[in-house]
Amino acid sequence: MQFHTILTSIALLGCLSLSSTLPVHAQGKGASRAQADDAILEMGQAFKQGDRKRLTVLLPRVSGHPLEPWGAYWELRARLGAAAPSEVQDFLKRYAGTYQEDRLRNDWLLLLGQRRDWTALAAELPNYRMNDDREVRCYALALEPAVTGIDLAAEVKRQWYAQKDADDGCAYAAAHFYEAKKLTDTDIWRKARLAMEHNRPKVARAATDILSPAAGANIEEIISSPARFLSKRVVAAGRVAKESVLMALIRLGSTDPDMAASVLENHWSVHLTSEQRSWAWGVIGKHAAQRLSNDAMEHFAKARDAELNDDHLGWKVRAALRQGKWKEVLGATKAMSAEAAQDSTWIYWRARALLQLAKSETDRAEALRLLESIAGVRGFYEQLALEELGQRISAPARPAPPSAEEKEAVRLNAGLQRGLYAIQIGLRTDGVREWNYSTNLHQRGGMSDRELLAAADLACQREVWDRCINASDRTKTLIDFEQRFPMPHKDAVVQRATQIGLDPAYVYGLIRQESRFIMDARSGVGASGLMQVMPPTARWTAKKIGLTNFKPHQITERDTNIAIGTGYLKLVLDDFAGSMPMAAAAYNAGPSRPRNWRGQTGAPVLEAAIWAENVPFTETRDYVKKVLSNTTNYAALISGQPQSLKSRLGMVGPREVNAPESNNDLP
């Protein structure tokens, strides 16, 4: 361990008592620590504002403070472009072994790549522990010599295709490999298509510029008016013209899949290659499926599964599930890439399709093997797989608690202590980053299950519940349900839930997903508190539940937040006739959307798992599954009895014509 790190650890041990959750200055350690805390907080603000001068003035005031590495990092990072290499190296040595050292190294490597200083970049890369920055990885790939048995071009494509923005590193690596004839025109066009499909025209243009400036000349017109672009052309001769037509169809399909289908069918289909047609139909089918249109499967039927990407195939599975077309479910899951096929979602539905279509014991045995490969308590489909195998969800036997030695080891971990300290004085984002880095232990390849349990115990003792859950959730073989599914504020939550007829496990399942029990959590759109209630919803609900004299600032108060959050949850649950998945969707996305997603009169009645998987919004789809999975695990923990996720899911279908709408004014 570096000398500075030892000193930092000693300082941290002196200022962070495990017996208390309070910051040091609140424990009577003197005004100097409080002043240093204030200086650190001010530096955090100055860094966000880009105030370099203020950072330099404040830095001496945090010397010796437990969070000094953060202050030093912010000050140097703010002027990194003008810093001398020797100053960077001095920082890396002084704070060796810390998150801030590797964070600055990450920033420095990016800057070296942008400067094309390959010698300096190559020299620093071996010291980079984090190894989670896609752009740095791409710079590294561009520098690596050909290695027998390693397909560097395939790795460049994987990183580049996954990159959302037009960052320099992967674009440089792609251009470098293209010039070396290790990437093809098809590889470049595929990136442009993906960018267009995800509404990132600048990224699409950057990709086509690798081919030639002329290749992306039509992109601006395609973005502004794809229908007009398509109507102006009679034929598509040559690769550039055909790909331009395809991108216009992709653009049109995202806003008007019916028109795109008509234009493709009646004119452009004959001008495109089989692979290009399949991609176009995949995009059109995907957007039709997201609109819950019955036409989706007709569109997908005009494409070859082998020529669709994983995203298209996933939406084909969802559309097929809605229509009960199990053969298509099986075919689409089989066509997925090896990586996608390992997702528990598609393993589960592939197994279900095999069971539905089984013509032999071999088919049934394969389905059972797939279910057994994912069955467990870790998540939504893992739990459903367990039930398909005839078992219920139970809380696993609790592992032995961390020993005194294991607790002492995490107590001596300076990174964990810095992370908790930062969180507790108000630097949550920075503290979370350092905590995550330290529990990942990039220096040693990752914490063991026992170390993670001890780290989780440390966070639980400090009542930093989100980090407790974060660490405990990552254990592989040892599962401590009481850590993974903590129940802070138990008396308040259980009493309120019971009083209004809500299952406390459901309330806890939702809070765990909403805020991870962070009392002052605030979302980017303004939702606040444990149950992440929006201000207009809080005002409306307060009136509905008779909470008189409610003031907006009260929404961050624990009991008020619980009262309003549970009150609203009860109202939406009643509105959806007790359907937990639909109420969860309403809580996340508003009640009007789940009403539309349940289908019109005559729509099929679906397993709620199928309904949830077809929710068009990725955030809400994941939210519903996680809330119901959490709920089932909390119920097992609270009751001590085996539980059923399927019984909580139930079925979802269109509301009966004469069924009352109990709360149509729900916000």
Q: What is the CA radius of gyration of the chain?
A: 28
Quote the CA–CA distance of 106 and 652 in Å, as a whole number.
Answer: 48
Q: For residue range 315-358, list pLDDT tens digits in order.
A: 999 999 999 999 999 999 999 999 999 999 999 999 999 999 99
**How many CA atoms lie less than 13 Å away from 186 in the CB half-sphere?**
5
- Rounded to 5 degrees, what are φ and ψ at 611? -60, -50
The 10s digit of each residue's pLDDT in 435-477 is: 999 998 755 568 999 999 999 999 999 999 999 999 999 999 9
Question: Which residue type, as a one-letter code, is found at position 483?
Answer: Q
Q: 533 has which bridge partners?
A: 528
Q: How far apart (Å, rounded) are the C-alpha atoms in residues 478 and 480? A: 7
Q: Using one digit for the tens of pLDDT, what is the confidence trace for 470-528? A: 999 999 999 999 999 999 999 999 999 999 999 999 999 999 999 999 998 888 888 99
Dihedral (CA of 333, 337, 338, 340) sign? negative
Contact at 8 Å (CB) between 113 and 172? yes
What is residue 656's predicted lDDT score, i.e. its pLDDT? Answer: 61
One CATH from 3.30.70.240, 3.40.50.300, 3.40.1260.10, 1.10.530.10 for 490-652: 1.10.530.10
**Is residue 419 scored above 50 in pLDDT?**
yes
Do 61 and 88 touch, CB atoms closer than 8 A?
Answer: no
Strand-pair partners of 528: 522, 533
Residue 6 has pLDDT above 90, yes or no: no
Instruction: Specify the pLDDT at position 11.
Output: 40
Identity of the amino acid at 6: I
pLDDT greater than 60 at residue 657: no
pLDDT band for position 21 (cuts 50, 70, 90): very low
pLDDT attached to residue 20: 35
Residue 429 token pair: 């984002």
> Can you give the pLDDT at residue 93?
98
From CA 505, how far away is CA 503, in angstroms rounded? 5
**Which H or E run contains 651?**
strand 651-652
Question: Which pTM was predicted?
Answer: 0.93
Exactly one of 101, 243, 434, 514 is catalytic; which is it?
Answer: 514
- Told to judge if 514 belongs to the known catalytic residues of this protein, a careful annotator would answer yes
Residue with tokens 């609900």: 541
Q: What are phi and psi of 337, to 5 degrees?
A: -65, 165
Task: List pLDDT tens digits, range 91-103.
Answer: 999 999 999 999 9
